[in-house]
Amino acid sequence: MKRSYVGAFRAITAAFLAANKELPGSGWVSSRASQDSFFKEIFSATCGEHARIPEIETKVARTAQPINEFLERHGMDGQLPPFGPDAFGFAAIMKILVEWIAAGDKKDVRGADGNTYAGVKIKVTYARDDGRSNLVFLRSPRHEHPIVSLRTKSDDVVYLTKFDKDMHAFDLVMFAKELLHTGRPTDGHEFEGVRFPMVDLDVRPDVIWLTGLSTVLDNGQRVTLTDAVQQCKLQMNHKGAVIKDAFAGAISFALARPDLVIDDSFLFVLERPGLSQPVFTAVLRPDCWKDPGELTFA
């Protein structure tokens, strides 16, 4: 069974901005391709927008306890393991509440799997003051299903559309951006309203790919990101939605060097001195990444 997943990076960006204030240095050095993607595609584009999301709160501390208490206080149970005096912790949490500009009704939704789920029905209505609709339906040439945008009592807009593909979190964010950029309003009379399931999501994305990041401080000391945790929640019903995104990381001040992480297809070469060519070569992709069991060297 496929599992729900998220592409959420705002809390991660905010946490690193908070860490950078405490760690003046030469900038972060990546140890794997996914870290390069984060800084080039996500961090560089979003770091200047931090002030436009006042719902983000950050925390820095020299021990894990204040960081974990900060997360607990906001209803998140992700925890950093204890770390010693040669470490530094940082965290951020984003909590955004959006209320539909016109509340819907509770109405069960029959899923494509044949099961019945608690759901919502919201009808198209028009505001008396400006005549704007609470719902706008769009189509994009990059997507086969219609898209609905739901106006909220703030400036935020929520978009919903059928989608069932597995993507890397980076790719998901880029796809969503392109989808909304290419979406165009449809005939206002195409749909009477929208129905969708209520949601209570609580996931912990794997952010182990961030560990191994390092930076050299102004005093010449190298520090390394040793632990990272993320937790994301989304609750949605007929009245609106609540989004929570939390991230915490721990940095070691020990004079450690990062590992070389081979996390993609790789080349294997066995060479024997005196022979004109290698004895054995192979490109090893994930299809063969498995435990071979006990090996006998006799």
**Domain edges within the chain:** 10-95+200-252, 99-199
First vs last Cα of the chain: how many Å apart? Answer: 44
Which long-range contacts does 256-264 make (Cβ < 8 Å, 24+ apart)? 256/222, 256/224, 257/214, 257/222, 257/224, 258/29, 258/31, 258/212, 258/213, 258/214, 258/224, 259/31, 259/212, 260/31, 261/31, 261/32, 261/212, 263/32, 263/33, 263/34, 263/209, 264/33
Q: What percent of the chain has pLDDT over 70?
A: 95
Q: What is the pLDDT of residue 286?
A: 84
pLDDT, position 157: 93
Q: Which of 20-29, 66-75, 188-197 has the highest mean pLDDT?
A: 66-75
**Residue 271 predicted with pLDDT over 90:** no
Average pLDDT in the chain: 87
pLDDT of 92 over the 80 cut: yes
pTM of the predicted model as reported, rounded to 2 decimal places: 0.83
Q: What's the burial of 259, exposed, middle or buried (CB within 10 Å: 0-12/13-18/19+)?
A: exposed
What pLDDT shows up at residue 266? 79
CATH code reported for the domain at 99-199? 2.30.39
15-64 residue pLDDT tens: 999 999 888 776 888 888 899 999 998 999 889 898 889 999 999 999 99
Contacts of 226 (CB under 8 A, 6+ apart): 83, 87, 211, 250, 251, 252
Q: How confident is the model at residue 135 (pLDDT cuts 50, 70, 90)?
A: very high
Which tens digits make up the pLDDT trace of 95-116? 999 999 999 999 999 898 889 9
Residue 195 predicted with pLDDT over 60: yes
- As a whole number of angstroms, the distance between CA 97 and CA 94 comes to 10
